[in-house]
């Protein structure tokens, strides 16, 4: 395993590498508990009023339970991509991807706290009885139909697609596969009735804004490049 990692990462797996990895992982270790505690709180807290999110397009989109597969894939898709950037020491892309994801997730938490929202899109009775519908019911049970705007599934998928596209670690085939997975995850949010079209559109708008903030502003570029250069200098 050690030799495989060294060949893949292009650097020895020694104390300096472990130290650098721990430094890179620190933002994840700090942010993950904050997000999870906050999210669990808003999921279990019963607000006095919820805004109902609904568009006419939602009524035209059929329930397609097979899309629960890419919906579940989101959990690995986002986290594994971030970890690949970290373990391969693509420091600049790693930080940009992390900041992109964390910013959107934090805004989602703030919106859900200040403007509680929900929808009534889920089918009351499953139209079919199969493995996919059972997987859908698992998600429905674990995740309430509240606090869904904007869609973090969509926002984080867009952020992951951006990271994959910009990374040198992924070849052309991997990028195409990554984008297909990302697109299928985005579609899954409306086909399994977890999100309204409104959630999806606003997630795209938010992703567009923060793409320019984190990938095309001098302050963020400078921060990320300095850390990339620091790791490269230490290794060289």
117-153 pLDDT, tens digit per residue, is 999 999 999 999 999 999 999 999 988 899 999 999 9
Torsions phi, psi of 160, nearest 5? -70, -40
Q: Which pTM value belongs to this model?
A: 0.92
Q: How many domains does the chain have?
A: 1
- Determine which helix (DSSP H) or strand (DSSP E) holds 52, and give its type and residue range: strand 51-52
> Is 54 within the bounds of a domain?
no
Q: What range defines the domain where residue 26 resides? A: 2-48+60-235
The gap from C-alpha 118 to its chain's centroid, in whole angstroms, comes to 20
Structure tokens at 71: 């919906």
Least confidently predicted of 1-10, 97-106, 163-172 = 1-10
55 occurs within a structural domain: no
- Residue 211 placed within a domain: yes
Q: What is the pLDDT of residues 30-58, one digit of tens each?
A: 999 999 999 999 988 888 899 999 999 99
Task: For residue 183, tell me if it sits in a domain.
Answer: yes
Q: Which residue shows structure tokens 């971030």?
A: 82
| CB 11, CB 17: distance < 8 Å | yes
With 0-12 CB in 10 A as exposed, 13-18 as middle and 19+ as buried, what is 87?
middle
- 104 occurs within a structural domain: yes
Residue 127 located in a structural domain:
yes
**Residue 11 included in any domain:** yes
Give me the count of residues in the chain: 236
177 within some domain: yes
């Amino acid at each position: 395993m050690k030799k495989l990692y060294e060949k893949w990462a292009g650097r020895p797996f020694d104390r300096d590498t472990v130290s650098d990895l721990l430094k890179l992982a620190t933002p994840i270790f700090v942010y993950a508990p904050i997000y999870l505690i906050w999210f669990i709180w808003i999921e279990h807290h019963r607000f006095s009023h919820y805004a109902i999110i609904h568009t006419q397009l939602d009524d035209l989109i059929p329930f397609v339970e097979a899309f629960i597969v890419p919906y579940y894939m989101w959990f690995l898709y986002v986290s594994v991509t971030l970890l690949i950037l970290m373990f391969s020491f693509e420091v600049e892309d790693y930080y940009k991807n992390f900041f992109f994801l964390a910013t959107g997730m934090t805004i989602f938490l703030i919106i859900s706290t200040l403007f509680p929202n929900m929808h009534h899109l889920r089918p009351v009775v499953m139209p079919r009885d199969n493995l996919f519908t059972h997987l859908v019911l698992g998600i429905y049970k674990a995740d309430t139909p509240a606090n869904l705007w904007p869609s973090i599934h969509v926002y984080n998928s867009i952020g992951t697609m951006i990271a994959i596209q910009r990374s040198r670690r992924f070849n052309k085939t991997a990028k195409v596969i990554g984008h297909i997975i990302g697109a299928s995850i985005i579609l899954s949010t409306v086909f399994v009735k977890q999100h309204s079209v409104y959630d999806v559109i606003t997630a795209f708008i938010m992703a567009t804004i923060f793409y320019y903030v984190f990938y095309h502003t001098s302050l963020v570029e400078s921060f990320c490049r300095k850390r990339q250069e620091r790791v490269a200098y230490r290794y060289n």
